[in-house]
Amino acid sequence: MSADEVAPLFELLAGRRIVALTGAGCSTESGIPDYRGGGRPGPRNPIQHDAFMRRPEVRQRYWARATLGWERFHGAQPNDGHAALARLEAAGLLAGVITQNVDRLHHAAGSRRVVELHGALADVRCLDCREVEPRAALQARLLDANPGWLAAAAGAARPDGDAELPAEAVAGFQVVGCRGCGGVLKPDVVFFGGTVAEPTLSAAWALLAEAGALLVVGSSLTVYSGFRFVRRAHEQGLPIGIVNLGPTRGDALAQARVSAPVGQVLPQLADALSAAESSV
């Protein structure tokens, strides 16, 4: 990655207040798989919102997989791309981040203003009393209710790290209820077919309204919940830059784009923008 490759983004963004829209590609370098990037197919058997709400066996399959998946997910650390965005915010050059990611790594990197469009796996909500339980606390309760599960599940899981499990392995998994009322628990994230909560969407639009430019980071923009911000930015005549490995649905609306790993591009971009700002 040379400075020349970052130059078009720098030219586009210098002197403007940036809002970043981030997706899975921002976290792949943290070891969290991007199922839509790299030409790979979509996630296997994605959880559908309606099925999760209606069918106990779908919730059992979800929590059986998630109990295994959490062990890897919760240990992930922010990468240089997350750090660069936090640095730009601290320098006053970035107003905030709208993210499609549910890993909370922007917060871990030090970003302060973050709108989590799809929620966060770190929170679990009771569908009956609405109490929120930290996912880490729930993990301990799930492991207590299913002794030996991690070892058994790890043996049954696919070698690529996807926590997909055969039906016979899931059948014996014990799902636990809300610690307060015994009600049904759901990770506080938007599943496929679910909708983004109105207060969350309002916060995202409010953030975009402060933008002098939109920077898309690590998203192919295939999901409308993210693409709509690019479309609105375009309608309002805001400059749009894209950093993503591979093509995106927003390419035709962008004035500058770089196809390279986020963790390589953003630190250079942040350095250049910060240097330009301090020389004013």
Work out whether 128 is an interface residue with Zn ion (CB under 5 A).
yes
**Residue from 83, 126, 165, 233 in contact with Zn ion (CB under 5 A):** 126
Work out whether 175 is an interface residue with Zn ion (CB under 5 A).
no
In whole angstroms, the minimum distance from the beta carbon of 137 to Zn ion comes to 14
Cβ closest to Zn ion, residue 184 vs residue 276? 184
Instruction: Indicate the residue type of 11.
Output: E
Q: Is 118 a known active-site residue?
A: yes
**Residue from 1, 3, 137, 181 in contact with Zn ion (CB under 5 A):** 181
Work out whether 8 is an interface residue with Zn ion (CB under 5 A).
no
Cβ closest to Zn ion, residue 38 vs residue 180? 180
CA distance 277 to 89: 13
**Residue from 43, 134, 161, 180 in contact with Zn ion (CB under 5 A):** 180
Exposed, middle or buried, 108 (CB in 10 Å: 0-12/13-18/19+)? middle
Which entry of 49, 106, 118, 234 is annotated as an active-site residue? 118
Q: What angle (nearest 5°) sits at the alpha carbon of residue 30, between those of residues 29 and 32?
A: 95
Cβ closest to Zn ion, residue 128 vs residue 277? 128
Concatenating the DSSP letter of every residue in 10-52 gives HHHHTTS-EEEEE-GGGTGGGT---TTSTTPPPPSSPPBHHHH
Options 112-120, 132-140, 170-178, 246-254: segment touching Zn ion (CB under 5 A): 170-178
Neighbours of 235 (CB within 10 A): 9
Beta strands in the chain (DSSP E): 18-22, 94-99, 114-116, 119-126, 132-134, 185-189, 213-217, 240-243, 256-258
Binding site for Zn ion (CB under 5 A): 126, 128-129, 178, 180-181, 183
Please list the active-site residues: 118
